[in-house]
Amino acid sequence: MRHLHKIFHENSIGEFNKVYEERFNFSSIVKLGMHIKPMNQANRYDLYYVPTNKMLKMISELYIISMDFDTNFKNLPKVAQKQFIIECISEELYNTNELEGIRSNRDEIVRSTKDVLFNRKSKKRFESMIKSYFRLLEDFEHPKTPKDIRTIYDDITKGEIDSQELPDGEIFRKETTYILKKSGSGKVIHHGITPESEIIKLIEKLLDFMNSDHSEVPNIIKVAVGHYYFGYIHPFYDGNGRISRFISSMYLSKNLGNICTLSLSRGCNKYKTKYLEAFEISNSIRSRGEMNSFIETFLEIIIEALKQMNAELKEKSHFLNMALQKIGSDPKLKLVPQGHRDMMFVLAQNHFFDSSSGLTAGELSEIFDKSTATIRKIVKDLLDISLVDQKGERPAYFCIRSKYFEE
C-alpha cells in the first residue's frame, strides 16, 4: 500500500482528496480515537491506520528475534548477564542523550551504571535516569494519569534540564514550544499543544488508548502510535524525546521482554534521519492522520536495533564458549583447585562482556560469596602463574592477561 504522503506529491489536490476520502472510508481501516491539527491548517484529522500484510510480517519478525534473543540471554552465565545489562543500559542512555543533543561519555555512563547497580554512594551524572532504566527490568506499573507522566519526567531528567526549561504549569508547560527542522535551517515544523488544559486532556486520551485491554489495535502498534502522539503533544519544553522513548520501552516490554526494550534509543539514534523524518511526515497535511508510514518506520527501527543487539550477544557468547574450552585445557590450571578455574571463567565473562578495566576483590567476593581474604589468595595464585593482571591500587582491578585468549 502506498503511503498517503507519497500520493500527495504525485497527484493534483482534487485527486489526492478523492484518494484520502476513499481510504478513510475503507471498512478495514482502524480509527484510533485521537486527532491532529497540522501546523498552519484549520482542519483537524483523525488518526488512523490501514492494517497491512507488511505490518503483520514485521510484528512476526519482531517476536521471532526477541524470542531468539531471550533464549541466548538466558543461556549466559550470571556474571555475563549482569555485565550485558550494564552495557545495554549504558548504550541506551548514551544514544538517547545523543538524540537530545546532550553531551555525555560512554565510559562515564558505564561507571555511573555500575555505581547504581552495586549501590555505591556517588553523585554522578544521569544517576536518576539510570535508576529509572533499572526499574524497567523489574515489575513496574504503566502510567495511568498525567501526573504519572510528570513523575517519570522528574525521575528521568533530574539535574539535566536547564532551570528556564523546566515545566512551569500545574503538570506540564504553560507556554508554546516550537520544534525546528534538524537541518539547522531554523524552520519551524511543529509546535506543541497549548494551553496546558488541552495538553492534560490529550495525555489522558493517550493513556486511555495505551492502557485499554479491549482495543482491536495490537500492543506493538499501540506503542508506535503512542510514541508519535506523545511527540505531537510535546508536553514539556525539553526532554520530550527521552521521556517518550522510555515510556515506549515500558510498553514494549509487555511483548518483547525487558532486556529487548533496551535497544530502542540505539535504533532511533542509528537511524536518526529516518526517525525524525517520520514525525515530520506524520505531522504534515500530506498524511492527514494516516499512521502507516510512522508505524512501519518505528517497527523497522526496532527490528534492526534488536538484530544488532542479538548479533553482539551471539558473538560474545561464542567467544565465551571458546574461553571455557581454553581454561579447561590450560596446563597451568590442571593442578590448581576448581575455585581457581571458576575465577578465571568469571574474569573471562568480564573480559568479553565488559569494556572496563576488570573486577575488584570486593566485586569478586560478592560474586562468589566468599571473603575478600579468600578471593585475594586465589587472585594471588593466578597472578603468580601469569594468568591474571592487576591494574591500579585502592581499588585494584583484576583481569585476565590481555593476550591470554590470543595465544
CATH number, domain at 367? Answer: 1.10.10.10
Containing domain of residue 225, as a range? 4-312
Residue 304: per-residue pLDDT: 96
CATH number of domain containing 77: 1.10.3290.10
Structure confidence at residue 186 as a pLDDT band (50, 70, 90): low
Task: Work out the angle at residue 111's Cα, subtended by the Cα atoms of residues 327 and 122, and round it to the nearest 5 degrees.
Answer: 130
SS3 at position 97? helix
How many whole angstroms separate alpha carbon 296 and alpha carbon 109? 31
Residue 6: per-residue pLDDT: 92
Residue 108: per-residue pLDDT: 83
Please say if the pLDDT value at position 9 is more than 90: no
Whether 267 and 349 map to the same domain: the answer is no
Residue 40: per-residue pLDDT: 80
Whether 93 and 175 map to the same domain: the answer is yes
pTM for the model? 0.91
26-82: per-residue pLDDT in tens? Answer: 999 999 999 999 888 889 999 999 999 999 999 999 999 999 999 999 999 999 999
How many whole angstroms separate alpha carbon 66 and alpha carbon 25? 35
Q: Which three cell numbers stand for residue 139?
A: 515489575
How many whole angstroms separate alpha carbon 168 and alpha carbon 181? 25
Distance of CA 52 to the CA centre of its chain: 26
Domain count, the chain: 2
The residue from 284, 312, 340 where one domain ends is: 312
Please say if the pLDDT value at position 181 is more than 80: no
- CB of 189 closer than 8 Å to CB of 182: no
- Listed in sequence order, the residues at least 6 apart from 54 whose beta carbon sits closer than 8 Å to its beta carbon are 1, 296
Q: What is the mean pLDDT of residues 184-201?
A: 85
DSSP class of residue 29 equals -
Q: What is the mean pLDDT of residues 263-290?
A: 94
Q: Which three cell numbers stand for residue 21?
A: 476520502
Higher pLDDT, 197 or 110: 197
Average pLDDT of the chain?
Answer: 91
Please say if the pLDDT value at position 102 is more than 90: no
Share of the chain above pLDDT 70, in %: 97
Structure confidence at residue 105 as a pLDDT band (50, 70, 90): confident
Whether 343 and 259 map to the same domain: the answer is no
Share of the chain above pLDDT 90, in %: 72
Query: Any long-range contacts for 181-185 (C-beta under 8 Å, 24+ apart)?
Result: 181/280, 182/273, 182/276
Higher pLDDT, 402 or 310: 310
Q: Which three cell numbers stand for residue 57?
A: 510480517
In the chain, the amino acid numbered 239 is G
Please say if the pLDDT value at position 215 is more than 60: yes
What are φ and ψ of residue 2, in 5° steps?
-75, 135
Structure confidence at residue 191 as a pLDDT band (50, 70, 90): confident
368-382: per-residue pLDDT in tens? Answer: 999 999 999 999 999
Please say if the pLDDT value at position 135 is more than 60: yes
Q: Does residue 320 form part of some domain?
A: no
C-beta neighbour count of 36 within 10 angstroms:
25
Beta strands 30-36 and 45-49 are antiparallel
Whether 281 and 378 map to the same domain: the answer is no
SS3 at position 32? strand
Whether 55 and 169 map to the same domain: the answer is yes
Residue 377: per-residue pLDDT: 95
Residue 390: per-residue pLDDT: 92
Whether 357 and 287 map to the same domain: the answer is no
Residue 183: per-residue pLDDT: 53
Q: Which three cell numbers stand for residue 50?
A: 490501514
Residue 395 preceded by cis peptide, ω within 30: yes
Residue 122: per-residue pLDDT: 66
Residue 109: per-residue pLDDT: 87
Q: Does residue 322 form part of some domain?
A: no
Whether 295 and 338 map to the same domain: the answer is no
The residue from 258, 280, 312 where one domain ends is: 312
- Which helix or strand (DSSP H or E) is residue 180 part of? strand 178-180
Q: What is the mean pLDDT of residues 312-341?
A: 93
Residue 123: per-residue pLDDT: 66
Please say if the pLDDT value at position 236 is more than 70: yes
Residue 311: per-residue pLDDT: 96
Residue 159: per-residue pLDDT: 83
Q: What is the mean pLDDT of residues 394-405?
A: 88
Instruction: Provide Rg for the chain, Cα atoms.
Output: 25
Whether 228 and 183 map to the same domain: the answer is yes
Residue 184: per-residue pLDDT: 57
Q: How many Cα atoms sit within 13 Å of 136 on the Cβ side?
A: 32
Q: What is the mean pLDDT of residues 270-287?
A: 93
The residue from 312, 344, 369 where one domain ends is: 312
Q: Which three cell numbers stand for residue 261?
A: 526494550
Residue 107: per-residue pLDDT: 82
283-306: per-residue pLDDT in tens? Answer: 999 999 999 999 999 999 999 999
Whether 337 and 193 map to the same domain: the answer is no
Please say if the pLDDT value at position 356 is more than 70: no
Residue 267: per-residue pLDDT: 94
